[in-house]
Chains A and B, each alone.
Chain A
Amino acid sequence: SQTIHQWPATLVQPVGSPLSLECTVEGTSNPNLYWYRQAAGRGLQLLFYSVGIGQISSEVPQNLSASRPQDRQFILSSKKLLLSDSGFYLCALTPKAFFGQGTRLTVV
């Protein structure tokens, strides 16, 4: 069965510090992978998606970047965090449309 692992579960980082959130999947190959951000416990904003290794598409301009160094690994990064980067970050895969448990990021 397919599973998604996200870590860490929670993270508190100072403004201006770097960020690296990792998402790995098991039980499938060549998935489409997504990073979403959820602010204030409501709607999901699609940040990035990837159809394969090294292939990243950005949905909105922002302070974040994504990389896919391996087929089942999807990384969300920032060189310098802003307060507005705070939120709940979710990794997902299709076609089964599974989600990871999320990372709660608080930028202070």
Chain B
Amino acid sequence: AQSVAQPEDQVNVAEGNPLTVKCTYSVSGNPYLFWYVQYPNRGLQFLLKYITGDNLVKGSYGFEAEFNKSQTSFHLKKPSALVSDSALYFCAVRPPPLNTGFQKLVFGTGTRLLVSP
């Protein structure tokens, strides 16, 4: 069964500094990997996904993530953090599509990002 780990409950960073939110995964086969952001009392907003191709994936709001197969990681990054980036971030994984059966989308427990002015 697939699983996702987000080892940090919270990440603190000063505005203008680079940020990294960590994610590691476990899944059979080549994974589909996702990052979402959630603002208070809102649904999850899609940031980016990795399915195949270039290991560095660029997404919304200047975020990017790097797929590392050997380390089974998919860390979220941004070169220069903004105060408005403060939110809850979720990593998710699911196995690749099969001809039959259901591929479950599994989430990490979330990491709260706090960007200070």
Decide if A92 touches B105 in the complex (CB within 8 Å): yes
Q: Give the distance in Å from the alpha carbon of A92 to the alpha carbon of B106 in the complex.
A: 12
Interface flag for B67 (CB, 8 Å)? no
- Choice from B34, B36, B106, B108 contacting A46 with Cβ under 8 Å: B106
- Choice from B43, B103, B108 contacting A102 with Cβ under 8 Å: B43
Decide if A42 touches B109 in the complex (CB within 8 Å): yes
Interface size on B, residues (CB 8 A): 24
Q: How far is the CB of A47 from chain B (nearest CB, A)?
A: 12
Decide if A104 touches B41 in the complex (CB within 8 Å): yes
Give 28 pairs: A residue, B residue, CB < 8 Å, sorted on A.
A32-B103, A34-B105, A36-B107, A41-B40, A42-B109, A43-B109, A43-B110, A44-B90, A44-B107, A46-B105, A46-B107, A49-B102, A51-B102, A90-B43, A92-B44, A92-B105, A94-B94, A97-B46, A97-B92, A97-B105, A99-B36, A99-B43, A99-B45, A99-B46, A100-B43, A101-B42, A101-B43, A104-B41
For B104, list chain A residues within 8 Å (CB): 46, 49
User: Which residues of B come within 8 Å of A, CB atoms?
Assistant: 34, 36, 40-46, 49, 88, 90, 92, 94, 97, 102-110
Q: Give the distance in Å from the alpha carbon of A57 to the alpha carbon of B69 in the complex.
A: 31
For A57, list chain B residues within 8 Å (CB): 102
Decide if A97 touches B109 in the complex (CB within 8 Å): no
For A27, list chain B residues within 8 Å (CB): none
